[in-house]
Structure 1
Amino acid sequence: MSLFNGTIQALEHSLGYSSAKNRAISSNLANLDTPNYKAKDVTFKNYLAHEFSRPIQAKTTNSRHIGFQGDTQPAGYKTIINQASSYQHNGNNVDVDKEMADLAENQIYYQALVDRISGKFGSLQTALKGGR
């Protein structure tokens, strides 16, 4: 039996993605004026596609129930570099407005994940205290 049916693990992977995205955005903003610097981005599509292709997990309460197969590890996320474009005359392709919007979106996403994990552990703490 796994605690919270894998929810904590999924939230952990999502936090890892959000941290990697934040590192990429920070790197892009730090190198805003660096000649020939190419912007980085973190993709989550492989992980998302993997999660949607997984079979539905069901809890078996009787030994005669049919089990579900194919539970595998997530594919994860990947950092990519955009080599195709150039916004500045020095070969740099960092768009500060896009990066700031991505940063704000990522901060909201990260905070939502932290709040969800906090809620999960709060529920566990309440149960351990006997509902008080």
Structure 2
Amino acid sequence: MKLFSNSINFLEQGLDYSSLRQKVISQNIANVDTPNYKAKDVSFRTEFDQALQSQMQAKKTDPKHLDFKYGQSSMISIEEKNNTSYNENGNNVDIDNEMSLMAQNQIYNQALVDQLNNEFNSLKMVIRGGK
């Protein structure tokens, strides 16, 4: 019997991504005036979508074996944006874009937290016997 659905694992990975992205965006904003600083971004969504489609399965020789968990370290990576330059000092941080990305990330994070709360509320209802 499977106790937790894969959705909790996926939501956890999404929250890890959102947390790291918030740190990277904050770092970009903090370095807006640093000469030759190149903005960074976090890559995750394409790998996440591929993982959802492939649904990796572990080969079980016993029904009591646990399911495979995705390794989050291989799914999330930080990439430097080298293709632009907004300032004459070599810095490519666009403060308006970074603030917009931060707002988007906060909305994304809150949606994941709300969904995770729904998952746990469903589990609580099952544990209480539907009450």
Structure with higher Rg: it is 1
Partner of 2:101: 102
- The equivalences for 1:15-54 within 5 A come to 15-44=15-44, 45-52=46-53, 54=54
How do 1:102-121 residues align onto structure 2 when only pairs under 5 Å count? Answer: 102-121=101-120
* Offset from partner CA, 1:94-132 (integer Å, 9 cap, x none): 001111111111111100000011111111112222222
Counterpart code for 2:94: D
CA distance in 2, matches of 1:76, 1:122: 28
Which portions of structure 1, spanning 4 or more consecutive aligned residues, are displaced by more than 4 angstroms? Answer: none
Percent identity over paired residues: 45
Root mean square deviation of aligned Cα: 2.0
Amino acid at match of 1:114: V
Unaligned runs of at least 5 residues, structure 2 = 58-67
Q: How does 1:65-76 map to 2 (within 5 A)?
A: 73=70, 75-76=74-75
For residues 84 and 15 of structure 1, the distance between their equivalents in structure 2, rounded to whole angstroms, comes to: 28
| DSSP 3-state at the match of 1:80 | strand
Runs (5+) with no aligned partner, structure 1: 58-70
SS of the counterpart of 1:4?
coil
Q: How many residue pairs were aligned?
A: 118
Aligned to 1:77: 76
Q: Normalising by structure 2, what TM-score?
A: 0.80
